[in-house]
Structure formats: C-alpha cells, structure tokens
Structure 1
Amino acid sequence: MDNLTTSSTTERAGGFFPKSRIAVSLLFLINGFMVGSWAPKIPEFAKRLELSEGQLGLMILMFGIGSLVMMPIGGAQIARHGSASVVKVLAIMLVPALLFVTLAGNAWFGVFAMVYFGGFAGAMDVAMNANAVEVEKSMRRSIMSSCHAFWSLGGLLGAGAGGFLISHFGTMTHAVILTIAAATMLAGAWPMIFVDAPHPSEGKRKARLPMTPLPWLIGIVALFSMVPEGAILDWGALYLRQELGASVTLSGFAFAAFSLTMAVMRFAGDLVRDRFGAVLTLRISTTMAIVGMLISGLAPDAMLVIVGFAIAGIGISNMVPIAFSAAGNMPGLAPGVGISVATFLGYSGMLFAPSLIGFIAEHTGFAIIFATLPVLFIVVLVLSHLARHADNIQ
C-alpha cells in the first residue's frame, strides 16, 4: 500500500509517466492515424468506383451507420468485459480496414468496406475513451485532452503521409505501408494497456435517457462543434482537388493542417482552460473557428484554404473537450448519462452530416458549404454559458 501511495503521489507530481498512459495515447494515435489516412484516399476511391458526389455521400453515410451501430455494442461489451480486452479486439479489427477500402472494386464491396471501417473505428473510439477514463482514475489526474491530441496527431500523420504515398507509390502501396505502421504501433501498446475491471451496472445507468433539457443543449454544442470537423475530413481534399485544382499531395494537407493545429492546441488545452475558464475559452475558440471556416469558404486558392482549415483547427480543438467535460459534470446527473448524450449527438454530426453535405455540394459546390458552416458556431456562442459546468471538476 505504501508503494502504491508513493507511486500515485509521484504521478500527480509529474515525475512519472506510466506505461498505461503511453499505451492509451498510442491507441488514440492509431485510431486517428487510420481515419486520417482515409482523407487523402477519398478522391481516388470516388474515381475508382465512378461515384458522383451524391453517391460518395452515401458511401460516407455507410461509414457513419457502421460507427453508430457499433458504438453501443462496444459500450455493452466494455461493461461486460472491461475496456482493455475490448479495445484490443477492436484495434485488431480496425487495422486492415484501409486494405479493404483499397481492394474495393465495385460499389457493394465499397459499402462493406465503409461499414466495416466506420464500425470498428467508432467502437474503438468508445473503448479507448473508456480506457482513458480508467487510466485517469489510476493516475488521479486529467489526461483526456492530451489523448485527443494524440488522435489529432494521428490524423495529421495519416493524412500527410497519405497524399505523398498515393502520388508517389500508388494506392495499394499506401494502404500496405500504413497498415503495417498501425499494426506496429498496436504491438507496442499491447502489453502496456491498462487492465480494468468490468462495470456491468454502467450499461444500465447509461440506458436511462435524461428528461431535462440541459444535457441535450450541451449535446447540441458538441454536435455543432463536430459537424465542421467531419466536413473537413471527408470533403476538404475533394474541395481542393475539384474546385481549386490542387495536386493530390497538396489536397492531402487539407485535413493534415487542420489536424496539426488541433493536436497542438489540445496538448495545451488543459492549461488554457485552467487559465481562462471554460466559458471564455469556448467563446474565443468558437470565434477563431468562425474566422477559419469563412477563410476556407471564401479563399481564391488552395493554400489559403489550408490556412483557413489550420485556423479552424485552433478553434475547434478545445470546443469538443469542453462540451464533453461540461456534459460529464452537470449537477444532479450521473456523468455517464450526460457524456452518452453529448458523444452520441456529437459523433452523429461528425459522421452523418458530411453525407448530407455531399448531396448539397453536388448542386452548390463546396465553397459555399464551408462559408455557411459558421452559422452552426453562432449557435455554440449562444449556448456557450453552459460551458461553466466544465469547471465543476473536483
């Protein structure tokens, strides 16, 4: 017991970086790496299957359906078996997803690949967040913002490397190299993943939906914060390619620039929020996101669009963590209930809205889409006072 107390004290003081934290950070990195690797592949995927923008929107919808179907299944398995064993299985299943997308030679195989990719990416997202919560408890300190920063870093690496590898070595070589890289990272994390106990009562508690409006309003903040993120992920590269004539390599940097600034600001997120408070941080972040999206939508060339996405990444980076933190710290409501509402609404926006954007863009183009998305951020500003609950962390 004395050794455990000493270890916990050392961890709180910052003198010890436990292996479990390295492992969960790698899990976030892998998930972001896989999703980011999909972004520069979208134009080639659409061309190979001869998809219109509307049809590509349906394919992306399949990704979202897979995620939202598998997320609650993953949550139920976590309650039954613990997050460690579940996240290991889901990570193994996710690793070959990019290969399936690359091998898809017709629309039906494409649908399967997208449902598979989205399903295991979404379920792993739930499991790795659950594991991060357990690591936080073991360390008695917050690490969630940095974990999400590693997800953004993974997106940066996947998107940045993807455009280069596709243009220089082809789509199959790109998929094989990135699959090997993801498998290698998983092998490194595997023996260090924090082993937690099952929580069978958690599933029952999360099943009770709140009847008060507050968690749903905070869920709307998460929803409207994540819709633009999904738009940049799924349509940023195609916007640069089709409407601004960017090269494959340059278009790959659309999501990469966004992920870079997201990662940097999320590593600094806890310090910023502690300094200025959740409400002011959310308002400043949302304002920057508005500016970045307007620049992207109104820009006359690809480089300025990338700059706009980078500015938007600075803003959006801490909007979602603040919303999730507020949802988990509402008075009189179990943390799991509030977070379940915020995550479901938030990921619904990120996964499903891009498919609707595809249908609209087929008639209007992407520039007007990115220029009008800031309307959602105005709603976030109106609801920003609710972020005060994020400062209730004990």
Structure 2
Amino acid sequence: MSSFNSQRLALSVFFFLSGFNFASWTSRIPTIKAALHLNEAELGTILLAMPISSLIGLPLSGWLVSKFETRIPLTVGFLLNSLCISFIGLATTPLALIMALFLFSLSMRVYNISINTQAINLQKQHAKKFIGSFHGLWSTGGIAGVGFTTLLVSLEVTIIPHLIMVSAISLAATLFYFRNLVRGDQAPASDKKGWVKPDAYILYLGLLVFFAAVCEGGMFDWSGIYFQQVIGEDIFTAGYLIFMTCMAISRFGSDKIIDRLGMPTTYVLSGLLISSGIGLAVLFPSFWPAMVGFSMVGFGAAAVIPMTYTLAGASKTYSPGIAISVIVTFGIVGMLIGPPMIGYLAHAFNLKVSFVAFAVSGLMLLPISKLFFRMRGQASQ
C-alpha cells in the first residue's frame, strides 16, 4: 500500500472512531439521566463541564499542534479519550460524571485540531477533493455507535459493559493505526504560536462553525431524550440514528454537492434545511414528522463544518494548523454549549420549545455566510 493510501486509511479510522466514541456515550444520556435522577437543568449543568474543559484545553492544544507533529497529540488525545469512555460509564455520582466528561472533552479538544490538520495536509497532496468523506466517516462512526447502543439497549445490556467494550475497541485501533499517520507536518518556526487573534476571515468562519455545532451538539445530546419524553418512544435512539444516517449520507456526497451548487448556495440551503426540520419536529411532535424533521437537520448540518474547515485551510494569514486550531475552538464551544443551553431552556419552558434554539442557529448561517463571501469578494478585487 502506498504511503498516501496508508495515511488516508489510518486517518479514516480515526475519524470513524471519533464519531463512534462520541455517539456511544451521548446515545446513553437518557440512561445516565435516569440512573443519577437528574432533571433537565441538572443535566445541563453537568454538561457544562465539557465547554469549560474545552476552553481550558485551548492553549494546550494550540501549543501542541504548533510544537509537535500532529500525529503525537492526535494519538495521545485518542488514547485518553478512549479511557474516558469507560470512566463515563463507571460514574455513579454527578461529581464523578463531571470529572469524566471534563477529561473526555479535554482529550477531544487535543485530538480534534490534529485530526483536521492532518486531513487538510493530506488533501493538499491530491487534486481530487475528498476531505468531506472524512467527516462522512465521522458520521458513519456515529451511526455505528448509535446502532451498537440501540442493539445493546434492546438486549438490556447495561451501560458499564457497553462503554468498556467501546473503550477496548478504540484503544486497540489507536495503537495499531497511529504509525501510519502523516509525519513531518510541524508548523514553520515563524508560526509557532499556540493561539492567535482571528482576523475577519477566520472570525466569520468560526461563527459559521459555531452555529452549526450548536445544532449538532444539541442533537447529539438531546435527540434521544426528545424521542423518549416528547415523542414517547421506548427505543429512544431512533431520532438520533436517522439524524446521523442522513448526515453521513450527505457528507459522503458533500464535495460533489459543493462543486455543483457552490459554497454560498450550500450554506443557505444548509441553514434552511436545519430550521425547517426542527420546525417540523416541534410543530408536529409525533414519530414520523419528527423522523422526517431530524432527517432534514442531518442533511442540513452535514456540509457546513467540512466546508468551513476547507476554507480555513486556505487562509493566507495562518498555517493550516493554527487556522484549524481557531476554527475548531468555535466548533467545540458551539457543540458543547448547545446541550446545556437546551437543558436550561427545557427546564424553564419545556423540551419541545427549547428545540427552537436549533432553528434559530440554523438561520444564522444565512447572514453570516453572506457577509463572509461579500468580504472575500471585496478582498480579491
């Protein structure tokens, strides 16, 4: 196998594992909520451990990706993340769960920058676009994680053996595939800064990722509870599964969709699909309308993050590693602020009303993308 192919395969495995790990624990949130006797506000407060940890890890992850080859923080981050999956399953008190989620988010913060920097560097070696397929594999891993959870829930397998199995799979794969990751991609000496103030170009892209990630993060953590409490389904992973499936299908075709429609149109279409899908699920809270609505959200959210990472990699101001570090910060904060926000809104009003926040986030993609492309057009004149 050529070096390029082996690197692409290894990176594909890590994208898949990232989605698998994340979906495995988030699809168990209804189980955790019931076991610890948490209300929506208490669950939202516990989930705040993740954005706080992500922000604390910001200078560390930025320093690591500028100091070392990205395969080093990627591997270390994945190993710690894999162990934290078990810690989440073993948590028997809210404090233990907060600590486990804190470490889980910190490790995810470290490897997220590295994995996307590797993807951009690998893309630069090949004329044909394939970066969207990596994010498709993340979603495919999420489908596998939700599907695995659904199977174990139906078999009445408890959360502890479930998440320990996930940890073991991820640890073994990480140790086997890390040797084939891209090497020699340290930032140039003139660009060894752990954090930079984003210019207008990066700031607009960061906001696009933020609002897309609010939708994604909220859907990951609350779709199961929505189907359990609002829709009244015993197999509460159904909505999560259809959301992840449609996101994966769309991401595998996102490169062709973007080439055909153009990025400006794709952003607009994405925002409209997200807001319309949420509106359908909220206005008609029964099984099939919610399934169709969640499908629309999956299709709408799919292209935004990989498309925005590609634009970030084309920054003329920062190296890909630094640009992705800033963009990923917006994305992780958005993905991890969404869930606690929904918890507080659900406690103050109700869960159905709280989902309107996702529709608003989807609509925000329209004006921000318009401002970005207008600014980019003026800069190129």
Q: Structure 2-normalised TM-score?
A: 0.90
Residue pair 2:18, 2:141 contacting (<8 A) in 1 also: yes
- 1:126 Cα deviation (Å)? 1.4
Instruction: Please name the residue that 1:21 is paired with.
Output: 8
* 1:174-203 C-alpha deviation (Å, 9 max, x unpaired): 113222332343244233222224326375
State the secondary structure of the residue aligned to 1:373: helix
How many Å separate the matches in 2 of 1:372 and 1:87?
33
**Is the 1:160–1:253 Cα contact (8 Å) retained in structure 2?**
no
Task: Determine the structure 2 residue equivalent to 1:3.
Answer: none
- Paired AA for residue 333 in structure 1: T
Q: Deviations over 1:272-326 (max 9, x none)?
A: 1111211112212222222211112223223432321111110111122223333
- Asked if residue 131 in structure 1 is aligned to residue 123 in structure 2, the reply is no
Q: How far apart in 2 are the matches of 1:319 and 1:80?
A: 29
In the alignment, which of 241, 251, 263 is matched to residue 248 of structure 2? 263
Is 2:89 the partner of 1:95?
no
Could you say if the C-alpha distance between residues 282 and 69 of structure 1 is closer, same or farther in structure 2, counting changes exceeding 3 Å? same
Task: For 1:17 and 1:197, locate their aligned partners in 2 and report how far apart those are by CA, in whole Å.
Answer: 14
Query: Which one of 352, 362, 371 corresponds to residue 367 of structure 1?
Result: 352
- Distance in 2, matches of 1:387 and 1:318, equals 17
**Residue in structure 1 matched with residue 46 of structure 2 by the alignment:** 59
Q: How does 1:237-386 map to 2 (within 5 A)?
A: 237-247=224-234, 250-329=235-314, 333-334=317-318, 336=320, 338-386=323-371
Q: 1:190 to 1:346 in 2, by over 3 A?
A: closer
CA contact 2:61–2:194 (8 Å) conserved in 1: no
Could you list the runs of 5+ residues in structure 1 that have no partner in the other structure? 1-6
Aligned amino acid, residue 318 of structure 2: A
Does 339-348 or 79-88 show the bigger shift? 339-348
CA–CA separation in structure 2 for the residues paired with 1:68 and 1:31: 19
Q: For residues 96 and 107 of structure 1, what CA distance do their matches in structure 2 show? A: 19
The 1:154–1:291 alpha-carbon spacing in structure 2 relative to 1, beyond 3 Å, is: same
How far, CA to CA, are the matches of 1:170 and 1:91 in structure 2? 24
Q: 1:94 to 1:135 in 2, by over 3 A?
A: same
Mean Cα deviation higher: 38-47 or 28-37 = 38-47
Give, as a single letter, the amino acid of the residue that structure 2 aligns with 1:255. Answer: Y
Change in 2 beyond 3 A, CA 1:198/1:384: closer
Partner of 2:174: 186
Larger mean CA deviation between 224-233 and 174-183 belongs to: 174-183
Q: Which residue pairs with 1:207 in the alignment?
A: 195
- Displacement, 1:147? 1.1
129-138 or 103-112, larger mean C-alpha shift = 129-138
TM-score, structure 1 normalization: 0.87
Tell me if structure 1 keeps the 8 A contact 2:73–2:114. yes
The correspondence of residues 8-87 of structure 1 with structure 2, limited to 5 A, is 18-87=5-74
User: Following the alignment from structure 1 to structure 2, what is the Cα–Cα distance between the partners of residues 268 and 196?
Assistant: 30
> Structure 1 residue 133: deviation in Å?
2.4
Partner Cα distance (1:229, 1:140) in 2: 30
After TM superposition, the structure 1 stretch with the greater mean CA deviation from structure 2, 264-273 or 200-209, is 200-209
Kindly state the Cα deviation for residue 341 of structure 1 after the two structures are TM-superposed: 3.8
Letter in 2 for 1:304: P
SS at 1:383 equivalent: helix
Give the aligned partner of residue 183 of structure 2.
195
Distance 2:324 2:183 in 1: 22
Give the aligned partner of residue 4 of structure 1: none
Write the letter of the residue equivalent to 2:278: M
CA–CA distance in structure 1, aligned partners of residues 31 and 203 of structure 2: 38
| Whole-angstrom CA distance in 1 between matches of 2:246 and 2:298 | 5
TM-aligned CA distance change 1:203 to 1:47, over 3 Å: farther
Name the SS of the counterpart of 1:198 in structure 2.
coil
Q: 1:232 to 1:268 in 2, by over 3 A?
A: same
Deviation at 1:367, TM superposition (A): 1.1
The answer for the alignment partner of 2:149 in structure 1 is: 162
Structure 2: which 5+ runs fail to align? none
Matched-pair contact (CA < 8 Å) for 1:79–1:202? no
The match for 1:228 is 215
Kindly tell me: are residues 208 and 127 of structure 1, through their superposed partners in 2, closer, same or farther at Cα, counting changes over 3 Å? closer
Identity rate, percent: 25
CA distance in 2, matches of 1:215, 1:161: 37
Q: How many residues align structurally?
A: 375
